[in-house]
Chains A and B, each alone.
Chain A
Amino acid sequence: MRLRIAFRKNAEIIYTSALDLQKIWERSLRRANLKVKYSEGFHPQPKIQLAVPLPVGFQGSNELVDIWFNEGTLKTDVMASLQKNLPAGIDLTSVEEIPDNQKALNGLAESADYCVTLLDKDLGLAVLQASLLDLLNKKVIERERNKKHYDLRPLILDAKLINADKSFLQIQMHLLARSGASGRPDEVIKELGIDPASCKFERTKIHFNE
């Protein structure tokens, strides 16, 4: 029985990597006494599949994980007992049953929406507006990450400055999130000449192919 769980990853637990989050699911399920299916093979692993890895330091308001439970597991039980056994910062928002044979979330991901809050109040709206426009007008944005050169521009589908929150400026970004072609909002921020340490990053939605 494959359940797709939507959850929020909040500020308390943003420094947990995707790999460590996998362990958190395993241990929380064990604490909740919920029985899950294991993979076949020499080293059976619990069948838990996270969607696109969320970078360390990012909040996520609409994250997804697929977990294969033993038949007969009740969705309401999963919500109640799993929530109680998760560390602070992970809030379950919904659970739905998914056909067992559907493709893995990871392979279906296409793009993602991010909201970046700029905590540095000295940044001027007009200047930022201009440099963002400049950025989007570029044909190529050459950058280096982990000693690899790549072009950031095709990974940016859209980016706009918003002023919804009265106290801080925010940039909404829509970036590609395919495996092998995935944009990082902190790279966009750096390209704008802003220190990512002075920003709050949140992934608000992952878009999947049908």
Chain B
Amino acid sequence: MKNSDSITNFLDTSLFNIQKPGRYVGGEFNQVKKNWGDSFIKIALAFPDIYDIGLSNLGLTILYDIINKRKDALAERVYAPWNDMEAAMRKKEIPLFSLESRKPIKDFDLVGFSIPYETLDTNVLNMLDLSSIPLRAIDRSETDPIIIAGGHACMNPEPMHAFIDLFIIGEGEEIINEIIDILNTSKDFSRDQRISALSDLPGIYAPSHFQISYNNDHSINGIKNIKDESRSQIKRRFVKVLPPPVTDFLVPNISIIHERAAIEVMRGCSRGCRFCQAGMITRPIRERPVAEVLEAVKSAVQKTGYEEVSLLSLSTSDHSRISEMLVGINQLSSEMQFNFSLPSLRIETFDDQLIETMQGKKKGNFTLAPEAASERIRQSINKPISDEDLFSTVEKIFRMGWKNLKLYFMIGFPGEELEDVQKIIDLCLQVNKIGKDILRGRAEIHVSINTLIPKPHTPFQWAPLDTKENVDIKYRLINDSLRRSKIKVDWPDYQNSLFEAWFSRGDRKLSDVIETAWKKGARFDAWQDKFDFSLWLEAFEENGIDPYFYSHRSRETDEILPWDHINIGVSKKYLINEYVRSTVYENTSDCRFLCHGCGIQTEYGIDCGEIRMRKQ
């Protein structure tokens, strides 16, 4: 086994020829490095993409902070090495190592992967392999760390079930402490006993404890917990009270994608857009008190020196004290000289006061996400904005001096017709006209179109992915019509949509496909220039699986879905009802004002209103 000295020696003699070597040496300001020793439970936090993307991942940042604040545990980080580094490591037989202590990942007690999206799956396998940890949970032995995974892509854990010992379903802030407590009291246990003890925690899913049976048509016949029949579902965890935000972010010594302090102002969303998985799996809403947000912003700027702060949430303008918060942040921003950004503003909440607070800001891109343009589809997806609101917001944005406006739309909704797509075109042309009138031709409109991926745990989970033929016709229509007006349009490759649909909606059989694809060289599938679709088709073929079974089949609402044993707290009854309502263009209003009985309150025995706002 290689030790940290030989890893250091490797780095000293290899990094000269590696791109951006700063990715592999750590040493960031605010990095925590404890003395490696037996007194700690050692956890490697792994992000399955390169450092440049992984460092700013908020989930891992939070866990790093919580674990390292404990006296009995340490957390170190590891990211996926880029191709050149992977080749150098394999050539010199250097195992994947942590940045802080340069210890082989295999030497940790626990390895926690954050998997926010499916295109990172093969990188997880690659990182396990580089660590000399058997890919499949079933092949691991006493000397292997326990491999856990969490993040939004794990809300359907099945495609990755073979490679992960335990999944964390839901939020990690509390459960990470429970995990460490159990690891502390189970040091004499065998690895299997430790896994078993951990799997008793609420929110922990051990795939090996579940047995899946199939029908002849490949759909699922039954899902059974063979260890504990009474626990037929794993219920998602969430924290009732958000702990104060992390403020001592690691500040990189090299350029990365997001160099900023990210302060989460609210978790959850009450709007209930039917295509949005995040809105379903992060319920209920929890707002942070304004004073706590302001304190965190101030502290984060002091502790990091960052010149930019980003206020995060699914819908920042829905925070009940947003104006008060923005006044405070504006004041801090001029006192302490930092910029702040507010992603995720809802069009209809864009009142004069909100705009007022943004008056002095640096004018970069402004992004709005109408998602749909026809009245019919807006009702169907439950994002009912009015054209009047949109146009008046756009007008205000241009009048304030923003020149670049980005508009997000989706196509491929169930029941969508070409006339609905035509409405997107009309709307963009109208927005373009407003911009040209106000800015005399200097307005730039950028339209970004996405294809709906009907995601698990959403009302659209039973719907098929739109066909390539349809999607092509729709994109061509949009592109041809808007290009004439010099509006920039971009849309995803259909192959990427297929991939996302297959691996977000798939079942256990896809583990074999992922392994085959990885063996054929699949890595970094989120990178357009690395993604090789043909290789994935081969992997399906070799395993005798028809991928279109997962993407293009309309499912009956009584079919057992691969993720049915993952209980996110929103009831199936509610999702079915929402699906039905979408077909008759019925709106479901913002649930802050009227509860629609999604199931969260009864499932967890809580009162959403109480949880939403803490005393300020």
Name A's B-contacting residues (CB within 8 A).
12-13, 15-17, 19-20, 23-24, 26-31, 33, 56-57, 85-89, 119, 186, 196-200
Contacts and interface: CB of A to CB of B under 8 A. Distances in A.
B337 to A, nearest CB: 8
A17 B254 contact: yes
Given A26-B307, A27-B304, A27-B305, A197 B253 contact: no
A126 to B, nearest CB: 24
A196 B251 contact: no
B593 interface: no
Given A15-B254, A16-B254, A31-B303, A197 B17 contact: yes
Q: Report the 9 A-B pairs with minimum CB-CB distance, sorted nearest first.
A: A27-B305, A15-B22, A30-B305, A197-B16, A31-B305, A15-B21, A16-B253, A87-B29, A12-B27
A199 B14 CA distance: 10
Given A31-B304, A56-B21, A20 B255 contact: yes
A193 to B, nearest CB: 16
A15 B25 contact: yes
A78 to B, nearest CB: 15
B251 A89 contact: no
Contacts of B259: 23
Contacts of B28: 87
Nearest to B303: A31
A15 B15 contact: yes
B204 interface: no
Contacts of A17: 254
Interface string B511-538: 0000000000000000000000000000
A57 B16 contact: yes
Given A16-B22, A56-B21, A87-B251, A197 B305 contact: no
B216 interface: no
Contacts of B20: 15
A119 B21 CA distance: 19
Given A17-B254, A27-B251, A57-B15, A88 B21 contact: no
A13 B303 contact: no
Interface of B: 12-17, 20-22, 25, 27-29, 31, 251, 253-255, 259, 301-307
B180 to A, nearest CB: 27
Which of B12, B254, B255, B301 has its CB near the most chain A CB atoms (within 10 A)?
Answer: B254
Nearest to B20: A15
Nearest to B24: A15
A12 B304 CA distance: 19
Which of A15, A29, A85 has its CB near the most chain B CB atoms (within 10 A)?
Answer: A15
A28 B29 CA distance: 9
A57 B16 CA distance: 6
18 contacts: A12-B27, A13-B27, A15-B15, A15-B25, A20-B253, A20-B254, A27-B29, A28-B305, A29-B305, A30-B301, A30-B305, A31-B303, A31-B304, A85-B305, A86-B29, A88-B31, A119-B12, A196-B16
Contacts of A199: 16
A57 B21 contact: yes
B303 to A, nearest CB: 7
Contacts of A27: 29, 251, 304-307
Nearest to A88: B27
A60 B13 CA distance: 18
A186 B28 CA distance: 27
Given A16-B22, A56-B21, 13 more contacts: A15-B25, A15-B253, A15-B254, A20-B253, A26-B305, A27-B29, A30-B307, A31-B303, A85-B305, A87-B27, A87-B253, A186-B16, A197-B15
A85 B255 CA distance: 19
Contacts of B307: 26-27, 30
B27 A31 contact: no
A146 to B, nearest CB: 15
Contacts of B27: 12-13, 87-89
Nearest to A35: B337
A16 B21 CA distance: 9
Given A30-B305, A87-B28, A197 B13 contact: yes
Nearest to A90: B253
A86 B303 CA distance: 11
A60 B12 CA distance: 16
A56 B306 CA distance: 23
Contact of B302 (A23, A33, A88, A89): A33
A197 B12 CA distance: 8
Contacts of B21: 15, 56-57
A13 B253 contact: yes
Contacts of A56: 21-22
Contacts of A13: 27, 253
B11 to A, nearest CB: 9
A28 to B, nearest CB: 6
Nearest to B256: A20
A185 to B, nearest CB: 12
A176 B517 CA distance: 52
A197 B15 CA distance: 7
B302 A31 contact: yes
Nearest to A28: B305
A119 B302 contact: no
Contacts of B301: 30
A26 B21 CA distance: 22
Contacts of B251: 27, 87
A95 to B, nearest CB: 19
Contacts of B14: 197
A16 B255 CA distance: 9
A130 B504 CA distance: 64
Given A16-B254, A27-B305, A31-B304, A198 B22 contact: no
